Amino acid sequence: MKKNNILTYLLFLGIMIVLQSCQSYSDGRMLKKFVSRFNAEEYASAATYVYPGDRMNVAFFANEVKTLAPHTFLKLEDYDTEGSGENRYIKATFKWENTTPALKSYFNNIGLPLDANDMQTVNLKIRATNDGETMTFPWGIPNILPENLWIANKGGRSSSKNEPIKLYTAPSAKANEAGKTYKDLIVGQEDNAGWRPAYQVTKDGEIITYYIPKDSSIKLDRTAFFHLGIFDSVGVIVAIIILIVIVAPFFLLRGVIESIFSSSIYGPFIVVGLILAAIYVIYQLLEQILFEMFIINLPY
């Protein structure tokens, strides 16, 4: 009996070690996870692999650039890690599928042109954070420090009643009004007169700078993404433990569940509600586990 317990313990320990190895992301594995989430337009999840200071550029690309080619997606053709220590980076070659002239123009404008086959090679610097290693994001606003960017809107990002923000051609009260927008704006630092540059992309792929005045009704947010799923930031081992904790009671407490079911007219509704909630949570956990271990996206 003791021998069986020891073997079971060693087997469990071995499984935990193997699973733990899934969390020590190699550069290539981290890059593939980013590409998978990015192509699925799960930008909040994709941004977890991006250096926090660069996540405003992810938001800028998602809000402004992706509309130039809504059906485009990335194919990772080749990659290699070069350098070491603080100078380590991933040299990655991508093929952009289903591009448009506007998207190609945008890449030309930021100094990362596509070749005749829509291929592009970029250097993604590895940056250390408290939560592990991340990558820089190369397709944002050039020559602007992403640490100096904010998201601006009127009414708050969680509100369904956003008011328009007026855009001006220059940082001056005498400037012409260029239009207005209901969308979230990526804006830069405020100058001494209280004006902020606001960055948008034209239909031709050109980055254009407007200006917004200082206005107490305009809300500024440094958090590019805050709508991750409930388990999107959970590691694979934690997800497995939660899964076991959720599933086990249904087998261990079958008698209790049956008694609830038959206790009153509301019993069946309570049990069905519990089962549906469990199925939803289990599905979320399975999606996270399969993605972390095998980079498999389950459909939502």
Q: According to the per-residue pLDDT averaged within each range, which of 129-138, 217-226, 284-293 is highest? A: 129-138
Among 92-96, 126-130, 224-228, 256-260, the least confident range:
224-228
> Is pLDDT above 60 for 13?
no
What is the distance between the alpha carbons of residues 274 and 283, in angstroms, rounded to a whole number?
Answer: 14
Write the DSSP assignment of 228-276 as a string of letters: --TTTT--HHHHHHHHHHHHHHHHHTHHHHHHHHHHSTTHHHHHHHHHH
Quote the pLDDT of residue 22: 41
Mean pLDDT of 46-64: 93
Instruction: Please state the pTM of the whole predicted model.
Output: 0.74
> Is pLDDT above 90 for 188?
yes
Is pLDDT larger for residue 153 or for residue 211?
211
> Is pLDDT above 50 for 45?
yes
Tell me which amino acid residue 33 is.
K
Q: Is the dihedral of CA 270, 275, 278, 283 positive or negative?
A: negative
pLDDT tens digits for 106-128?
999 999 999 999 999 999 999 99
Question: What b/e sequence results for 214-223 when a residue is b if at least 16 CB atoms lie within 10 Å of its CB, and e otherwise?
Answer: eeeebbeeee
What is the distance between the alpha carbons of residues 231 and 235, in angstroms, rounded to a whole number?
Answer: 9
> Is pLDDT above 60 for 2?
no
Quote the pLDDT of residue 121: 98
> Is pLDDT above 50 for 270?
yes
pLDDT tens digits for 208-234?
999 999 888 888 888 876 555 566 666
Q: How many CB atoms lie within 10 A of CB 232?
A: 16
> Is pLDDT above 70 for 266?
yes
> Is pLDDT above 60 for 24?
no
| The residue to which tokens 């949570």 are assigned | 281
Is pLDDT larger for residue 264 or for residue 153?
153
Quote the pLDDT of residue 182: 86
Quote the pLDDT of residue 88: 93
